Homo-oligomer: A and B are copies of this chain.
Amino acid sequence: MTALASSLRGTFPVLGTLSRGHPMIYLDSAATAQKPQAVIDAMTRFYTQDYGTIHRGVYQVSERATLAWDAARERVAHFLTAATADEVVFVRGTTEAINLVAESFLKPRIKPGATVLVTEMEHHANIVPWQLAGAKTVPIPISDTGELDLVAAERLLAAGCEMLAVCHVSNALGTINPVVELCRMAKRHGVPVLIDGAQAAPHLCIDVQAIGCDFYCFSGHKVYGPTGIGALWAKREHLAKMPPYQGGGDMIDLVTFEGTTYAPAPRKFEAGTPHIAGAIGLEAALRWLDALDRVALRREEEELLAFGTGLLAEVPGLRLIGSAREKAGILTFVIEGVHPHDIASILDHDGVCIRAGHHCTQPLHRRLGVQSTARASLALYSTRDDLEKLAHGLVKIQRMFN
C-alpha cells in the first residue's frame, strides 16, 4: 500500500536517526519537509567543487553557478507548468513572495484601507503582508468542516476588492481549495488572484496556467528542498509593470546618484547576491520529485490519510478538525482535557514529532473556538507505521490525563 513511501524512506538520512533515543517518527512535514540525499549532495557538491557567484564572472565556477541558477529557474517553471522561466522570481520563501506582491503589485494600485479578500483559513503569511501594505483583510468564511463558502466568496467579490489571496491547501485543515473556480469567479469581477501554494506544492501537481491565477508561490523547504529559497510565479505582464522590491546589485540597468533604471524581470526583483546554493538544492529537489510517479504518490497519500483518520477516530476524546472532501495529508485535532502542547511533548518523548499551537493561523483558531491544536502532517515518506505509533501514543496520553 505504502510501498512507494517505504522504498523512499532510505533516501532521507534524518528518518534513520533517533529522536530522544527512539527511532524518529517525523509527522511535521507541513512545517518543513526532510531532505533526500540527492538534495544534500547537490549542495555539498556545489560548495566543495563548483562554488562561485553568478552572472558576473567569466571563470569556470562562476559560469557553472550561473548555468545552474538558470537551470533552477527553468526547473521551477516546469514544476509550476509556467509558460516561461522569466515569470519565476527567486525569493526566500512563500512569506517573502507574498510580501513582494503586496508591496510591488498591490500597494501602488490601492488607497489605504482598500480590501484584500482572504479566507478564514489563511496562514499569517497571507494576511499580515496585505495589512502592512495598507489594505484591510476581509475573510471569506468557511464551513465547520473547513470548506470555503463559495456563495459568500461570490458575494464578497461582487462587493468589491482589490485582490483575492487564498491558500491552495490549508496548512491547518488540509483543505484543498477549488482554486480554478475561485480564479474564474475573481476574473469575472476583474480581481487579481494570488495563490499561496506553500502546502500544495509538496502534495499536488501544479499548473498555474490551468489554475488561471495571477500569482503563485511556494517555499523550497516544504518541497524537500533547502531552507532560504522559494519561488514566486507571476504573469509576465504583471512583473513587467511592477516596480522593484529591493534595490542593489544585479537588479539594475544604470545607476547614477540622480536616479537609477532597472533590469527587466525577473532580475529586477532579485537584488544582491542570491541564495545560489538554495536554488541548486531546490532544483535537485524538484528534479527528484519529477522522477517519481506523483500521481501514484498522491493516491497513496489519500489512502494513508483515510487510514490515519480512521485510527484517530478511535482515540477516546479526540476531535479531528478539518474534514473537507478534498483534503491533503494533514491531521489536526484536539483531545478533551489535554492541552495540545502536552500531547506534542509526550509524543516527543517517544520519538514522535508533531506540532502543537496555532500553526500561524490564529484567526482560524479563533473561528474554531480553540486556543491551539495538535497537528500531524504527512509527506511522501510517511507510512502506516508512523500513524500507528501516533495513535498508540495518543491513547496513552488520553489515559494519563483522564
Asked if A355 and B125 sit within 8 Å, CB to CB, the answer is: no
B-contacting 9-mer, from A131-139, A295-303, A324-332: A131-139
Chain B residues whose CB sits within 8 angstroms of the CB of A58 once the complex forms: 341, 344-345, 348, 356
Once the chains bind, are A14 and B61 in contact (CB under 8 Å)? yes
Q: Which stretch from A200-208, A245-253, A394-402 is at the chain B interface?
A: A245-253
State the CA gap A118–B49 with chains docked (Å): 38
Which single residue of chain B is at the shortest CB-CB distance from A37?
B48
**Which residues of A (68-109) have their CB < 8 Å from a CB of B?**
92-96, 98-99, 102
Q: Which of B57, B244, B247 interacts with A125 by CB under 8 Å?
A: B247
CB contacts under 8 Å to B, within A48-72, are 48-53, 56-62
A373 at the interface (CB under 8 A from B): no
CB distance from A96 to the nearest CB of B (A): 6
**A221 contacts chain B at the CB level, 8 A cutoff:** yes
- CB-CB under 8 A from A227, the residues of chain B are 273-278
The reply on A23 being an interface residue by CB < 8 A is: no
Residue interface mask A260-299, B partner, CB < 8 A = 1: 1000000000011111111000000000000000000000
Number of copies: 2
Residues of B within 8 A of A129 (CB): 246-248
A13 within 8 Å of B (CB atoms) = yes
Complex CA distance for A124 and B248, rounded to whole angstroms: 5
Q: In the bound complex, how far is the Cα of B276 from the Cα of A251, in angstroms?
A: 26
Which residues does chain B contribute within 8 Å of A366, judged by CB atoms?
256
Chain B CB within 8 A of A235 CB: no
Cβ-closest chain B residue relative to A21? B60
Residues of chain A at interface, number, CB under 8 A: 97
| Contact of A32 (CB < 8 Å), options: B32, B34, B53 | B53
User: Which of B13, B24, B353, B362 contacts A254 (CB under 8 A)?
Assistant: B362
Q: A20-B60, A56-B355, A57-B353 are in contact. Are A125 and B249 (CB under 8 A)?
A: yes
Q: Are B99 and A271 in contact (CB under 8 A)?
A: yes
Which residues of B are found within 8 Å of A258, using beta-carbon distances? 136
Q: Tell me the smallest distance from the CB of A97 to a CB of chain B, in Å.
A: 9
Selected from B118, B221, B229, B257, the residue in CB contact (under 8 A) with A363 is: B257
Would you call A47 an interface residue if the criterion is a C-beta within 8 Å of the partner chain's C-beta atoms? yes
- Asked if A40 CB lies within 8 Å of chain B CBs, one says yes
* Complex-state Cα separation, A219 to B248, whole angstroms: 13
Contacts of A132 in B (CB 8 A): 243-244, 246-247
B354 touches A59 (CB 8 A): yes
Chain B residues, CB < 8 A from A254? 362
Residues of chain B lying within 8 A (CB to CB) of residue A252? 124, 128, 362
Asked if A322 is at the interface of the complex by the 8 Å CB criterion, the answer is: no
| Complex interface residues of chain A between 124 and 180 (CB less than 8 A to chain B) | 124-125, 127-129, 131-132, 136-139
Using A14-B47, A31-B62, A129-B248 as known contacts, list a sample of 14 further A-B pairs with CB atoms less than 8 Å apart, ordered by residue number in A.
Answer: A19-B60, A19-B61, A20-B59, A31-B56, A32-B53, A40-B44, A128-B247, A129-B247, A136-B257, A138-B257, A227-B274, A228-B275, A228-B277, A255-B363
The 6 closest A-B CB pairs, nearest first, are A95-B272, A228-B275, A128-B247, A95-B248, A125-B248, A59-B353
Residues of A within 8 A of B (CB): 13-14, 17, 19-20, 24, 26, 28, 31-32, 34-35, 37, 39-40, 43-44, 47-53, 56-62, 92-96, 98-99, 102, 118, 123-125, 127-129, 131-132, 136-139, 219, 221, 226-229, 243-244, 246-252, 254-260, 271-278, 341, 344-345, 347-348, 352-357, 360, 362-363, 366
Q: Could you jot down 5 A-B contacts, CB within 8 Å?
A: A24-B61, A28-B52, A28-B62, A99-B248, A123-B248
